[in-house]
Amino acid sequence: MKRSRSISPAVAILVAEALAFVVVLASLPGQTFAGKTSAFVRKDEKAVDMPLDSDVFRVPPGYNAPQQVHITQGDCDGLAVIVSWVTPDEPGSSLVLYGTSENDLILSANGKVEQYRYYNYTSGYIHHCTIRNLKYDTVYYYAVGVDQTLRKFWFTTPPEVGPDVPYTFGLIGDLGQSFDSNNTLTHYELNPRKGKTVLFVGDLSYADNYLNHDNVRWDTWGRFIERCAAYQPWIWTAGNHEIDFAPDIGETEPFKPYKHRFHVPYTASGSTAALWYSIKRASAYIIVLSSYSAYGKYTPQFKWLEAELPKVNRSQTPWLIVLMHSPWYNSYNYHYMEGETMRVMYEPWFVNYKVDVVFAGHVHAYERSERISNVAYNIVNGQCSPVPDQSAPVYITIGDGGNQEGLATNMTEPQPNYSAFREASFGHAIFDIKNRTHAYYSWHRNEDGYAVEADKMWFTNRFWHPTEESSAYVMHSLH
């Protein structure tokens, strides 16, 4: 007698979502696939920053209470966490108490404290402490503010690195601290897909838009994101608003506030600077690049990336994700072609190593590309148009977090063939890895309900399952 086989809940969900996607496509027989510009229209207005007395900027009560608490991954594999916070009145303790029981924090790690000056501003006391030797897939509770005002938080470590480990990432970029920023963060927090780690593609506080780069706006931003960033890691990418280069007021050290406030595990991946580095998390290998550091041949970033890409073991971490700030493919009339020189340098590597997806920000709107490349062009052969390339990444611009300057609404016309979907709205995205072959991606605009997917796509892994992904192919294969 044959025994019937049962399938796991994860596989059942994967099959159900795939069938739902096919049904939606099959119901649109008259659809054209030259790319879609969304018909959704929202008000074209400047983003308005929340006032300094907003509740999201509230200073926690108690003497020298830790504030601006945030965490990020602290090593290559996910067994360490960097905890950062600020004390306003005096240094206090840099000790972190932690453990797997909320009421029994039996372990401790000691960090370091630093300060910086920027023009007429002096920072609070910035603490960074790396907790090491954690266990995978475990909830840890931690406390900062020892011997003064103790504040407690928690986080969950990722599962052990492996090829079929499911994991859900959130994507946010160009966040700022406007009312739209608050909507984006709330929308992300309430998304039923429940991102476990934020991949942040640059432009954090927009403090540099204020008079003399008012660094008080770094403090308000740190308190604003604490409600999320103290409980799940944010993986940091530097954008142009982090440069803070202002020689007119005597500030000539690029990225000064950013580098003091946001530590990352760059030395663990052999990087010589905190602006480019890599981590492994679950089944993903994440490479962070700096659009505003030297990246030409022989520069430190170039040499690091050249050595880094061959190290990626797709049998261990199938999903190869790259984060940067300035997009390489952009069909808006904002920041047009600003990423072109970096694309010329690195795009052949991305195709050769079969990068799955590149997330960028900078343009204050949303756009997703087809899988395309422009590596054939050699300046004399005339082959200067992007072409379909199933070894190339999908390029996603997600610079729509809220910012301070409003949305990028002016698009190039006609929409280029490589652009699959674009829309000028604020929002966030989710990249939900199912196993080594499939991941489900969705973009969520702020105006919609929490579960609404304004754009979506099934990704098939370029190394393990490199199927054709273009919309036209999907429709053709259904008939």
| DSSP conformation letters of 376-405 | S--SSS---S-EE-TTSPEEEEE--S--SS
List strand residue ranges (DSSP E) for 265-386, in order.
277-281, 284-288, 319-323, 357-360, 366-369, 372-373
Q: Please give the distance of CA 7 from its chain centroid, rounded to a whole number.
A: 33
Contacts of 289 (CB under 8 A, 6+ apart): 237, 276, 295, 301, 305, 322, 323, 324, 342, 346
Using left for φ > 0, alpha for ψ between -120 and 50, and beta otherwise, residue 287 falls in: beta
Contact 455, 443 (CB under 8 A): yes
Say whether 335 is catalytic. yes
Residue 454 to residue 428: CA distance in whole angstroms: 10
Residue 221 to residue 236: CA distance in whole angstroms: 14
Residue 463 to residue 465: CA distance in whole angstroms: 6
Burial class of residue 408 (count of CB atoms within 10 Å of its CB; 0-12, 13-18, 19+): buried
Residue 278 to residue 260: CA distance in whole angstroms: 19
Q: Among residues 128, 335, 428, 444, which one is catalytic? A: 335
Contacts of 469 (CB under 8 A, 6+ apart): 370, 371, 390, 394, 457, 458, 459, 460
If residue 300 lies in a helix (H) or strand (E), which one and from where to where? helix 300-308
DSSP state of 84: E
- Lookup result for tokens 């209470």: 65
Query: What tokens does 360 get?
Result: 């960028």
Query: What tokens does 426 get?
Result: 């604020």
- Catalytic positions: 335
